[in-house]
A and B are shown apart, each in its own frame.
Chain A
Amino acid sequence: MSKYTEDDLEQELKTQEYKYGFYTDIESETFAKGLNEDVVIAISKKKNEPQWMTDWRLEAYRVWKKMEEPEWANVHYTKPKFQDIAYYSAPKEKPKLNSLDEVDPELLDTFKRLGISLDEQKKLANVAVDIVMDSVSVATTFKKTLGEKGIIFMPISEAIQEHPELVRKYLGTVVPTTDNFYAALNSAVFSDGSFCYIPKGVRCPMELSTYFRINEGGTGQFERTLVVADKGSYVSYLEGCTAPSRDENQLHAAVVELIALDDSEIKYSTVQNWYPGNKEGKGGVYNFVTKRAICETNAKVSWTQVETGSAVTWKYPSCILKGNNSVGEFYSIAVTNNHQQADTGTKMIHLGKNTKSTIISKGISAGKSQNSYRGLVQISSRAENARNFSQCDSLLMGNDCGAHTFPYIEVKNKSAQIEHEATTSKIGEEQLFYCNQRGIDTEKAIALIVNGFSKEVLNKLPMEFAVEAQKLLEISLEGSVG
């Protein structure tokens, strides 16, 4: 296939518009608020799911009903009223698209502010974009190129139809329905998300990318992502989120499962900038995410995340290092400003021999925000020669914010080597004056200093994502001084 251009994408969008029935015959469809078994069944029906899937959801729902919302995180918020949420919503019909600019002006505007206008995206070769809007995918591109290599990259709802054997084999194997309150809820009601399968020995030729966003007021968003890297394969997966301003709190409880079979590698990068609420702390998204990977022999998984959004974030991308010589990495930048609260970190569970994990966490707090790192490094008794290196750095701006570090280390094998470093620093007046003196205003100076502070993590992101992430850091710290 020759080079894919913006025109091709436009063409594809036009033709795809009709592929999904709801575009033509449903104006807007949102289920009544509330959750019970009938709603779960209705969601499953709506998506034309096979019986096993419906049963799976129902089982999850029954588990969830008995669970309590967790309270151990260092965050405080008004709990969502789960019976006040509509659990399914399809996008409203939009006028016929004449150009890419009409995809969604708001989305486009955010892209522009981030410097990744669709115009620029054209230049960012090798990025396949699957835009998930209001829980239903409206466009999947690059499918063909990927198809030639046997790579499957599609909305999970489609995968359930087209590749039920794969989905059934892996869904819920890393994050079981019983895992935790939000994971159980997600399992019961997830509306869509992405599915990705890389066959044996295949190196995915492009970064796979998804943009999620929340649209309709009062709609909970429950994505489900499942990435399977078969033996000896490689994939780099990018997940980015944007959401427009909104007044009421919105719940977001996604589940991401990564399966890295023998000798495979998965890089999973996230840039998350959901609405954090206004300066007074009103509104904003609640982001309660369960992300976990399982690494078989010699496999490697890297989680890289840049978290700037959400009013409340609760998120611990984790790696189960099951196979010998497997490697888990976690690189994170979490920015909190105004009244944002983030409790994020990782879990590295060393089960196999010679397993290795690296944790680099950079927390930046401004305004009245609270930023917590919570990490667990667990070395099981049979994990001979396991190694972990953790580094947690916090940067504070002003005197009203907080940074907290909660490292938990559990070692059951004496051969383990564990290193933990932590620092806390403040942006100094002297640094700002130095920058000012060189013609750099304070806002830009802060962006520069923050980028410098976050560099080790930014460097782990794919180029185009790194640029976006840098701009995002800048935007999210706007007005944090002076």
Chain B
Amino acid sequence: MLKIENLQASIDDKSILKGLNLEVKAGEVHAIMGPNGAGKSTLANIIAGKDDYEITEGTIELNGEDISELAPEERAHNGVFLSFQYPVEIPGVSVTNFIKTAINETRKAKGLEDMPAKDMLKMIREKSELLEIDRKFLSRSLNEGFSGGEKKRNEIFQMAMLEPKLAILDETDSGLDIDALRIVANGVNKLKSKDNAVIVITHYQRLLDYIVPDFVHVLHNGKIVKSGDASLAIELEAKGYDWIKQELV
């Protein structure tokens, strides 16, 4: 599904990713962990196509196709979804209107007609129930005045609506209370299939109790420096990152 080779990227001449390799296959869940400032969000943004960064080396392939020249919306149309670490507010645009626009724009790009309102409503009902979202919430302005947890839950609601091939969840667990974490994680698990893949970026083992990863990677200083299975996350939780940093020296 996703294949990243020797990715090097910088912003304002500051090098952030320094030769990163990652391969994610359909049906897999990958967790990316790593200290603050390691480059996790940068990686997520670059996959999603944010153009603040300059890619100086390497390739990003999605289903065998180089996507590094594609606009972010084109990547989205190809099934890339990013749950933002810090979702932005769009005043006056309701959650419903936003997601309707997102779905119909994606359909338009694929040469499809707008989704009939009836189907849209049905889907909204299903997905909001799945994530235990109060429907009143959906008529509020996108992310405006949302609590930290509400923002994250809303990101996953959008993911559920858009049914992406590759979902990247950037610290979706931070800000969620214990119940919300379970609800959101269950939601993600329900959406998982053998045809799609999930990358979860997190600092805590807690989320990985619910969304069990096939692989855990440690990103440090712009590179993936260690990979393992789910047990690596448990080890990190217990020991922190120092031992890995020392291994590198």
Contact = CB atoms under 8 A, between A and B. Distances in A.
Interface of A: 428-431, 433-442, 444, 448-449, 451-456
A453 B91 contact: yes
Given A433-B72, A436-B72, 16 more contacts: A429-B52, A434-B88, A436-B49, A436-B73, A437-B73, A437-B76, A437-B82, A438-B102, A438-B105, A439-B105, A439-B106, A440-B102, A448-B98, A452-B91, A455-B92, A456-B92
A431 B73 contact: no
Contacts of A451: 92-93
Given A436-B76, A438-B98, A438-B162, A452 B50 contact: no
Given A430-B88, A437-B72, A439-B73, A452 B101 contact: no
A441 B97 CA distance: 15
A436 B105 CA distance: 10
Contacts of A453: 91-92
Contacts of A436: 49, 71-73, 76
B158 interface: yes
A444 B72 CA distance: 14
Given A439-B77, A448-B98, A434 B90 contact: yes
A429 B72 CA distance: 13
B101 A440 contact: yes
A455 B98 CA distance: 14
B141 interface: yes
Given A448-B98, A448-B101, A441 B71 contact: yes
Nearest to A440: B105
Majority secondary structure of chain A interface residues (helix, strand, loop or mixed): helix
6 contacts: A435-B102, A439-B102, A439-B106, A452-B93, A453-B92, A455-B93
A428 B97 CA distance: 19
Contacts of A437: 48-49, 72-73, 76, 80-82, 84
B158 A438 contact: yes
9 closest Cβ contacts across the A-B interface? A452-B92, A452-B93, A436-B72, A439-B76, A455-B92, A439-B106, A438-B102, A436-B73, A430-B88
A428 B93 CA distance: 15
A439 B90 contact: no
Contacts, number: 75
B90 A431 contact: yes
B87 interface: yes
B90 A448 contact: yes
Contacts of B90: 431, 434-435, 448-449, 452
A439 B106 CA distance: 5
Interface residues of B, number: 32
A447 B50 CA distance: 20
B123 interface: no
B208 to A, nearest CB: 24
A428 B50 CA distance: 13
Interface in B134-156: 141
B109 interface: yes
Contacts of B93: 448-449, 451-452, 455
Contacts of B88: 428, 430-431, 434
Interface string B48-73: 11101000000000000000000111
A431 B89 CA distance: 7
B109 A439 contact: yes
Interface centre among A430, A434, A439, A456 (most CB of B within 10 A): A439
Contacts of B92: 451-456
Nearest to B77: A439
A471 to B, nearest CB: 14
A60 B97 CA distance: 51
B141 A452 contact: yes
A454 B87 CA distance: 22
Contacts of B80: 437
Nearest to B107: A439
Nearest to B71: A436
A162 B84 CA distance: 66
A360 to B, nearest CB: 12
Contacts of B106: 439
A439 B84 CA distance: 15
Contacts of B48: 433, 437
Contact of B105 (A430, A444, A456): A444
A259 B158 CA distance: 50
A454 B102 CA distance: 20
Contacts of B97: 448
Nearest to A393: B91
Contacts of B82: 437
B210 to A, nearest CB: 24
Contacts of A454: 92
Contacts of A456: 92
Contacts of B105: 438-441, 444
Given A439-B109, A440-B105, A452-B92, A434 B73 contact: no
A444 B52 CA distance: 21
Contacts of B89: 431
Contacts of B87: 434
Contacts of A448: 90, 93, 97-98, 101
A427 B153 CA distance: 25
A438 B102 CA distance: 6
A121 B141 CA distance: 31
A434 B102 contact: no
B71 A434 contact: no
Nearest to A449: B90
Contacts of A444: 101, 105
Contacts of A434: 84, 87-88, 90
Contacts of A429: 52
Interface centre among B84, B87, B91, B99 (most CB of A within 10 A): B91
Interface centre among B71, B102, B162 (most CB of A within 10 A): B102
B91 A441 contact: no
Contacts of B71: 436, 441
A287 to B, nearest CB: 27
Contacts of B91: 452-453
Nearest to A436: B72
A441 B77 CA distance: 10
A433 B98 CA distance: 14
A456 B97 CA distance: 15
Interface string B88-119: 11111100011101110110010000000000
A339 to B, nearest CB: 27
Contacts of A431: 88-90
Contacts of A428: 88
Nearest to A459: B92
